[in-house]
Amino acid sequence: MPKQIRLLDFGLLSPLRSQVVYHAAAYAMTPDSPNTIILVSSNHPYVCIGVHQDLEKEVDVEYCDANGLPVYRREVGGGAVYLDSGQVFTQWIFHRENLPSDLETRFRLYVRPLVETYQALGINATYRPINDIHVSGKKIGGTGAAQMGIAEVVVGSLMFTFDKKTMARVLKVASEKMRDKIFEGLEQYMTTMTEQLGATPERAQVVSTYLEKTAAALDAEIVPGEWSAAEEAAAQELDARMGSDEWLNQKGGLRQFGVKIHEDVRVVQAAFKAPGGLIRVIARIREGRIDDLSLSGDFTMLPAFSVGALEQAARGVLVARDLLAARFAQVYRALAIQSPGVTPEHFAEAVAAATA
């Protein structure tokens, strides 16, 4: 690793520029360019989607338009996310030979100073492979990586605050009940510096600690630098491309099931047609097990409280059709449930369908 790394601390930039700057630094990189760390926050709330995502399937565009929330697509993977000035983005733009070639090792290196910064503030943060940071099982930051030109890019953030309510609102979901479950998941499994400390720390203090920990992790001196004319030229081209409808509305090639809360937690939904009626499922899955379950539909079931009993009984069960069917069958026997045309196996099939 070269002994000096350039620092570009942009402070607050427009939503588009907060994404453009690291792309521009990467595409403008030449063999003689310095390895660079960019720090930047957005001066206005916005939504950012991953390179592989389909806008119309992931984001409630009408809500964003009505509420003045621009939407942009980045060249890094991952999911749709609401962003605002409550995060400081930490963006590394390095030469390939100066980062570990193994992606998990690279993430571990990138995450180390973030974890150590939180720990220095009194937050018990830990690295959660492959690219998350957790505090007592709650996510306080994720990371992403991409190749752009000759550069290797790794991005993440220092999470001062996070608007979970708006995050749940901007996503495209099939029902308000699903949205409520997403918000509940965010409340239960995401956290911030402000939540952990009871107050929002000063940006300057946190950034200073982060740079100190990063210099130690990389065994290098981090030196404030200048934004070059070549980088600005690249940025202006990217302003036009990344701000265009054509770039935003391209069809993504990948779609993960459900909404990811963090590496181990997703909220999923599905509908399953049994002979006795439609079964609708909204489930929160944690480490492959049912963490929370909501069942509804147009089926008939007696006694009336049986649905709640099935929901409770599923918690903690591995998402496996046979195991779920066996657990539901126990409840059926215990409560003498009657549900014409709907069996425990149908409920198990409906839940399994949500995670398929």
Residues 89-112 have pLDDT tens digits of 999 999 999 999 888 899 999 999
The pLDDT value given to residue 46: 98
List the domains of the chain with CATH numbers: 4-248 (3.30.930.10), 264-354 (3.30.390.50)
pLDDT given at position 257: 57
At residue 8, the pLDDT reads 98
Residue 62 pLDDT > 50: yes
The pTM assigned to this predicted structure is 0.78
Pick from 40, 43, 38, 46: which is nearest to 5 by CA? 38
Predicted confidence at residue 255, as pLDDT, reads 47
Q: What CA–CA distances, in Å, run from 303 to 106, 326, 336?
A: 55, 20, 8
Predicted pLDDT at 270:
87
pLDDT at 256 over 70: no
- Asked whether the predicted pLDDT for residue 295 surpasses 80, the reply is yes
